Amino acid sequence: MIVLKGAEVSAKIKEEVRAALDFMSGSIPKLAILRVGENPDDISYERGAKKKLTDFGLAVQSHVWPADVTDEQFRQEFDAINRDPETDGILLLRPLPRHIRERDIERMIDPAKDLDGISPLNMAKVFSGDPSGFAPCTAEAVIEILKTNGIPIAGRRVTVVGRSLVVGRPLAMLMLAEHATVTICHTKTADLKAACKNAEILAAAAGSAGMITGDMISPGAIVIDVGINVNADGKLCGDAAFDTLEGIASMATPVPGGVGAVTTAVLAKHLVKAAAARRGIRLPDRA
């Protein structure tokens, strides 16, 4: 089984970002990361994104609010960042505390700065197959992994486990845009095993540790594991029981070191795309 490492895909994206930055002659794109509260997962993601983007030569500024910030105060300060001419892109760490109306923020965010595709406009573009907007970074990371490794998608049977708006659904739409034949599974799917066995490419985005096992996939299948879970030993693990795939899957992504590493690289790529568009710079293809 070939292990599809996220670092190799991230390195390729880094080259693309560096080439784009050369083209933008010294103008450094700036990302604003918005965090409310001290959720350890958010803090860890923020740290990883900052490290990656800085390494790629991009600027990052964190904005942090206490968990009890009022809806009104958050909205006002969000609005100021949204309008700030120095800010090229926004990453909002979610979910927000329940008293903040996340739906309103999704509607407020400038689609041109919405790097993780949460605005209705960017969502609609993903669902209508229009590549001009921003797809959610994780969903796009899966496509990047397949393409960078030369894995064909067109015409293949793809099963996506998970139907959230953050990962499963947009990923299914991106797969469809690449001309895959897509099956989407969720908790009410009657025969999950059959749907998984049918897949040539299986993308697991359920958030359930080790739920995909070797006996659920067909020989030669490619498994892309989006899940990030903590197992009984307190270790990070994916939705697939990785060891059980050996000898059955042809390729699989590890957790950690798979999709997660590519997600932040896609965020960097989106930031450069947003910054170039805001500056009226047309980047050459693959720059």
Q: Does 207 bind ligand NDP (CB under 6 A)?
A: yes
Q: Does 193 bind ligand NDP (CB under 6 A)?
A: no
Q: Does 272 bind ligand NDP (CB under 6 A)?
A: no
Closest distance to ligand NDP from the beta carbon of 129 (Å): 21
DSSP state at residue 97: P
The residues near 153 (Cβ < 8 Å, ≥ 6 apart) are: 143, 146, 147, 175, 178, 179, 180, 201
Stretch that binds ligand NDP, among 15-23, 30-38, 52-60, 206-214 (CB under 6 A): 206-214
Cis ω for the linkage preceding 219 (within 30 of 0): no
Identify the bridge partners of residue 185 per DSSP, sorted by sequence position: 161
Q: Does 51 bind ligand NDP (CB under 6 A)?
A: no
How far is 158 from 155, CA to CA, in rounded Å? 9
Q: Does 185 bind ligand NDP (CB under 6 A)?
A: yes
- Which residue, 111 or 207, is less far from ligand NDP as judged by CB? 207
Q: Does 6 bind ligand NDP (CB under 6 A)?
A: no
Binding flags for ligand NDP, 74-93, as an x/- string (CB under 6 A): --------------------
Binding flags for ligand NDP, 91-130, as an x/- string (CB under 6 A): ----------------------------------------
Q: Does 162 bind ligand NDP (CB under 6 A)?
A: yes
State the DSSP string of 202-229: EEE-S--TT-B-GGGS-TT-EEEE---E
Are 245 and 214 in contact by the 8 Å Cβ rule? The answer is yes
Q: Does 244 bind ligand NDP (CB under 6 A)?
A: no
Q: Does 188 bind ligand NDP (CB under 6 A)?
A: yes
- Which residue, 105 or 166, is less far from ligand NDP as judged by CB? 166
How far is 116 from 276, CA to CA, in rounded Å? 17
- Which residue, 221 or 226, is less far from ligand NDP as judged by CB? 226
- Which of 124, 127, 126 is CA-nearest to residue 137? 126
Closest distance to ligand NDP from the beta carbon of 270 (Å): 14
Q: Is 279 exposed, middle or buried (0-12, 13-18, 19+ CB in 10 A)?
A: exposed
Are 241 and 196 in contact by the 8 Å Cβ rule? The answer is no
Residues 128-157 that bind ligand NDP (CB under 6 A): 138
- Which residue, 113 or 163, is less far from ligand NDP as judged by CB? 163
The gap between the terminal CA atoms of the chain, to the nearest Å, is: 32
The residues near 57 (Cβ < 8 Å, ≥ 6 apart) are: 17, 18, 21, 28
Which of 226, 240, 267, 287 is in the footprint of ligand NDP by CB under 6 A? 226
- Which residue, 117 or 162, is less far from ligand NDP as judged by CB? 162
User: Helix, strand or coil for residue 87?
Assistant: coil
Q: Does 20 bind ligand NDP (CB under 6 A)?
A: no
How far is 52 from 42, CA to CA, in rounded Å? 15
Closest distance to ligand NDP from the beta carbon of 191 (Å): 11
Residues within the interface to ligand NDP (CB under 6 A) = 138, 161-164, 166-168, 185-189, 192, 205-208, 211, 226-229, 259-260, 263
